Each structure stands twice: as C-alpha cells, then as structure tokens.
C-alpha cells in the first residue's frame, strides 16, 4: 500500500539490517592476542569504543530520538504550486519492538500516536496528530529490530525558519519520545531541484498540484552487496521540459565514489521528476553524500546515505569488519574477504553471508546477529578488565566460546582482595580457564599457558564450522 497525503503506518516485509551499536577498529594480532595498546587510554577509546548510532544519524542531518521509543525522522523539501509555498515531507521510522503488541484474533496489533507541531516563533503554524495501528501475523514479528514501521506526512508551508516538534507515544505502554529541531524551509524557485528523497517505492506525481505517491526511506540505509540498490526520487518544479541531471556519491575528502546521469521527465504539469538508482556495491561502506546537479545550471541538491555491512555494523569499514569476524568464522572463510578489493568485496560479502547463515529461509543471518550481540555484551560485562571488553581475556573467551558451563569463584567478603581466582569451565572443550585478579581491581588475567589453551579451543571450535 503506497501512502498519499494522510497519516499512514506501514509494516514492510523488508530484510533490512537493524542499526545497533557496534565497536570500532579492534587492535588484535594474527594470533588473536591484543596488539600493543595505544599510547593513551583516550587514544584506545577513540579507536575501539562503540558507535553512538543516534549521533551517527544526527550527523547525517536526521532527527534521532534519545527516548525509550527510539525513532529516526527525515525532513525533505519539494516544489509546490508557487515559490511562496514549499511542500514539506516529514517521514519517521522505528522498529516494531518499540511498540507494545497485543493479540487480536489470529494477529498481533500495536498502536502508537504521532504528533507533529510546526511553530514560527511562539505561533503554532500547524499541528497534526493521529493514532496508527500496526498488525503482524506472528509474535516473532513484534520483536523485529529493523526499520519497518514507517509514518509520513506532507505539509504545505511558506518558506522560512520553523521549530519542528515530533513526538511518538506507544498506546500500549507509558513509553514515549519526542524531539524538537529547527528547520529552515527553502524557497524553491522555478527550475530548482527539491531535496533528493531516498525511497522504497514511488509513483512520480504529474504536477505540483498533486502529491508524490511514495514510501520514504527515513534512515536512507542501503545494504552493501552485489544487488543492493537504493532508489532516490528527484523533482524540479516550474518546467515541463525533460531535464538531464548528474548524480554522484562522494565520501571522505570529497572523493567521488560513483557517478551517473538520468533524465527527469514531465508528466503533463509544470514539474519534471525521476529516480536515481544508487548501487550499494559501488560506494563502499559508511556515511556518504549523494549530490544531484542540473547539467546546464549551477543548482545542486544533496542528501546523506548510510551504506551498512549488515546487522550491528552501521559504520564499520570493510577491513574493520574482517577483524571483528576472527572469532566467528574459520580463516578460509575470511580469506576471500581479506583479499577482495573494490566491487569484489560486495560479491565476497554476499557469499560469506550465504555460507555462514544457519537458516537460509529467514531474511537475516542469525549466527552473525548473535555473534555481534556477544561482542556488545562483552563490552558491557568486562569493561573493567583494563581494555575494551571483548578484547580482554575474559571477553575473548566469552565471544569465542560463549558462556562457560560453570564459573567457580571462592566466596570472599573483601572484593578488593588481591590474587583472587575465577575458574571458567567449558565441559565440551575439556577446558578450565583460571583467571587471576592480582590487583584487586577486577582486572582478570590468564597465565600464558592458559591463554594458549583458550586460543587452541577457539581454533578447534572454528574448525568444526562448515
């Protein structure tokens, strides 16, 4: 169902990766042991600390809520009937798990309310409020973490500066979140490009008197892969002549990563429109900028895109990804990733996902999801071990082998006591790891021989993987 001008809530059957926090560059050697630490703790934190995904989205110019209902929203500006008015598209997305669902017959239903306020100074220019219902067929869908609940609304306002307040309230619980930002609505003169709008699907409008029938992609996320493409909708108002536009994606240092052109066509009214197809395989990984330019005018419009490697990997580069995977897959699986370059990486990554997916009938690689969940948990559990949690010796044991079957620790009243011991027992691997806290500060270490035994057990586990 394609939304038009009303309030709509849509649950998409899409296989997008969820954008959860992940760690950055892991400093490990080929033997799995940490390399020499950076000169300062601050330098290490900068290299390895988990990514703040909300700040990532905000850095892309999006609205990202910090509340207990995390949502991401985008504001785009399109040509209207005259230059004295601008068509504003506000789109918002959140994960189904942010909503409380209840059983309704054979389905599960969740309800939420969205309120949008636009103010100029103290004057309320526009208020929109509505309650939406999301229905899914199975309980499992209620816990999805991807961008699949999408709300969007068009508003016509005069150019100028506004305060935009967007709030979401879950009708099945006390949870709510809201964000307020300043928005400058541009005056789109004749033959001026509107904001490029990343979409899932679109039916171009024929004139500025109508509304685009599109389903926005608020997070502008595209999966890095051989056949992954993000459509971006583009309009120019005040003309009926077919207009060629150039599109290019630029990365760090303004380096051009991809370039193409397309023709925007008229459909009977004073407006031309079209879609630019941006391939995820050709533009690397991370946040990039899409620029659209008219061939014969200095007019340029831009939007930010996020190319991800998959679940829990919103911004990590490809080399960083391979380092993360050292406890996930055997070396022969990682070698094609390590040796691949350029466009080859998309093909290699798709092959890796297929080869390591324990359940190909689903839209995600559950094993990879669980692996990165363990890394996040290790960063929390073992953050006092003197370095980033998953690279500590207890962290490597947890990520590489999972939870131990038993943990034996002598009872003591003095938690600051030195030379404490903690024994992790892995029955399947016939392994007992004795960790020592020689400082009394909770920094647990293995002896050199026990560390070698841990690495050997991890290698044995990886060798058993297909």
User: pLDDT tens, 377-416?
Assistant: 888 888 777 667 888 899 999 999 999 999 998 766 555 5
Name the percent of the chain in helix, strand, coil, to the closest 5: 25, 40, 40
| In the predicted structure, residue 161 carries a pLDDT above the cut 60 | yes
Q: Pick the last residue of a domain from 188, 222, 254.
A: 188
Comparing 52-61, 64-73, 325-334, which segment has the lowest mean pLDDT?
A: 52-61
The residue ranking higher by pLDDT, 89 or 40, is: 89
Q: What is the DSSP letter of 16?
A: P
- Exposure of 329 by Cβ count < 10 A (0-12 exposed, 13-18 middle, 19+ buried)? buried
Residue 173 has what pLDDT? 94
Residue 311 near residue 372, CB atoms below 8 Å? yes
Q: Is 157 inside a domain boundary? A: yes
CB 156 within 8 A of CB 86: yes
pLDDT at 93 over 90: yes
Q: Give the mean model confidence (pLDDT) for residues 48-65.
A: 79
Mean pLDDT lowest for which of 29-33, 59-63, 95-99?
Answer: 29-33
Q: Domains in the chain: how many in total? A: 3
Does 364 reside within a domain?
yes
The verdict on residue 20 lying in a domain is: no
**Whether residue 18 has pLDDT greater than 50:** no
pLDDT, position 296: 80
Q: What is the pLDDT of residue 238?
A: 92
Please say whether the beta carbons of 272 and 243 come within 8 A. yes
Regarding whether 323 and 457 lie in a shared domain, the answer is yes
Is the pLDDT assigned to residue 46 strictly greater than 60? no
Give the per-residue pLDDT at 76.
98
Q: What is the pLDDT of residue 313?
A: 56
Grouping H, G, I as helix, E, B as strand and the rest as coil, residue 226 is coil
For 138-147, what is the mean pLDDT? 86
> Which residue matches tokens 């899914």?
136
Higher pLDDT, 251 or 456: 456
What pLDDT score was predicted for residue 136? 94
Q: Are 90 and 127 in contact (CB under 8 A)?
A: no
Output the pTM of the full model.
0.71
**Domain span including residue 417:** 317-464
- Alpha carbon of 16 to those of 11, 12, 224, 230, 316: distances in Å? 12, 10, 11, 12, 17
Count the residues in the chain: 466
pLDDT at 50 over 70: no
Furthest-apart CA pair in the chain: how many Å? 82
Q: Which of 290, 315, 340 is the last residue of a domain?
A: 315
Beta strands across the sheet bearing 86-94: 8-11, 149-157, 86-94, 72-79, 63-64
Same domain, 323 and 458: yes
Is 27's pLDDT higher than 60? no
The answer to whether residue 43 scores a pLDDT higher than 90 is no
Give 209-243 pLDDT, tens digit per residue. Answer: 999 999 999 999 887 765 678 999 999 999 999 99
Give the chain's mean pLDDT.
83
243-260, pLDDT tens digit by residue?
999 999 998 778 888 999
Whether residues 71 and 149 share a domain: the answer is yes
Cα atoms found within 13 Å of the Cα of residue 282, Cβ hemisphere only: 15
Per-residue pLDDT, 459: 95
pLDDT (tens digit per residue) in 427-441:
999 999 999 987 777
| pLDDT above 50 (res 187) | yes
Helices (H) and strands (E) in the chain, counts: 8, 23
Based on the domain organization, do 296 and 331 belong to the same domain?
Answer: no
Q: What is the CATH number of the domain that holds 165?
A: 2.60.40.10
Terminal alpha carbon distance of the chain: 41
Alpha helix (H) residue ranges in 158-312: none
Q: Can you tell me the mean pLDDT for 371-382?
A: 85
Shared domain check, 262 and 140: no
Residue 362: pLDDT above 80?
Answer: no
Q: Is there a single domain that holds both residue 321 and residue 409?
A: yes
User: With pLDDT > 90 as the criterion, what percentage of the chain qualifies?
Assistant: 55
pLDDT of 337 strictly over 80: yes
Q: Please state the rounded mean pLDDT for residues 22-42.
A: 33
Whether residues 328 and 203 share a domain: the answer is: no
Residues 136 and 148 in one domain: yes
Residues 343 and 322 in one domain: yes
Least confident of 164-168, 288-292, 314-318: 314-318
Distance between CA atoms of residues 109 and 111, nearest Å: 7
């Amino acid at each position: 169902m394609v939304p038009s001008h009303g309030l709509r809530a849509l649950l998409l059957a899409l296989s997008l990766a969820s954008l959860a926090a992940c760690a950055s560059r892991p400093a490990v050697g080929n033997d799995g042991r940490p390399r020499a630490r950076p000169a300062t703790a601050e330098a290490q934190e900068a290299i390895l600390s988990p990514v703040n995904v909300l700040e990532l989205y905000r850095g892309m110019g999006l609205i990202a809520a910090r509340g207990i209902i995390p949502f991401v929203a985008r504001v785009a500006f399109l040509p209207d009937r005259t230059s004295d008015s601008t068509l504003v598209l506000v789109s918002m997305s959140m994960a189904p798990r942010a909503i409380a669902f209840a059983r309704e017959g054979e389905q599960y239903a969740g309800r939420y309310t969205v309120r949008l306020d636009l103010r100029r100074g103290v004057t309320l220019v526009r208020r929109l409020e509505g309650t939406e219902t999301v229905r899914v067929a199975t309980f499992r869908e209620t816990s999805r973490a991807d961008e699949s609940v999408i709300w969007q609304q068009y508003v016509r306002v005069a150019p100028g500066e506004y305060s935009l307040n967007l709030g979401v309230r879950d009708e099945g619980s006390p949870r709510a979140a809201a964000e307020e930002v300043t928005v400058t609505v541009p005056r789109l003169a004749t033959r001026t490009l509107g904001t490029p709008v990343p979409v899932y699907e679109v039916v171009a409008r024929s004139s500025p008197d109508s509304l685009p029938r599109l389903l926005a992609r608020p997070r502008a996320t595209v999966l890095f892969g051989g056949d992954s493409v993000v459509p971006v909708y583009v309009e120019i108002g005040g003309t009926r002549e077919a207009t060629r536009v150039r599109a290019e994606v630029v990365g760090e240092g303004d380096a051009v990563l991809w370039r193409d052109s397309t023709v925007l066509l008229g459909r009977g009214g004073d407006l031309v429109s079209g879609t630019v197809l941006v391939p995820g395989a050709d533009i690397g990984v991370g946040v990039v900028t899409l620029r659209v330019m008219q061939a014969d005018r200095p007019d340029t419009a831009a939007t930010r895109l996020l190319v991800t490697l998959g679940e829990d990997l919103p911004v990590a580069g490809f080399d960083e990804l391979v380092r993360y995977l050292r406890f996930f897959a055997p070396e022969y699986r990682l070698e094609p990733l390590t040796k691949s370059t350029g466009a080859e990486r998309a093909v290699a990554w798709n092959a890796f996902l297929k080869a390591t997916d324990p359940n190909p009938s689903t839209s995600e690689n559950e094993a990879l999801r669980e692996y990165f969940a363990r890394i996040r948990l290790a960063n929390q559990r073992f953050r006092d071990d003197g370095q980033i949690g998953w690279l500590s010796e207890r962290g490597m044991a947890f990520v590489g082998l999972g939870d131990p079957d038993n943990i034996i620790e002598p009872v003591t009243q003095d938690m600051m006591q030195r030379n404490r011991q903690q024994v992790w027992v892995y029955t399947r691997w016939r392994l007992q790891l004795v960790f020592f806290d020689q400082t009394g500060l909770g920094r647990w270490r293995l002896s050199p021989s026990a560390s070698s035994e841990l690495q050997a057990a991890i290698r044995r586990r990886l060798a058993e993987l297909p």
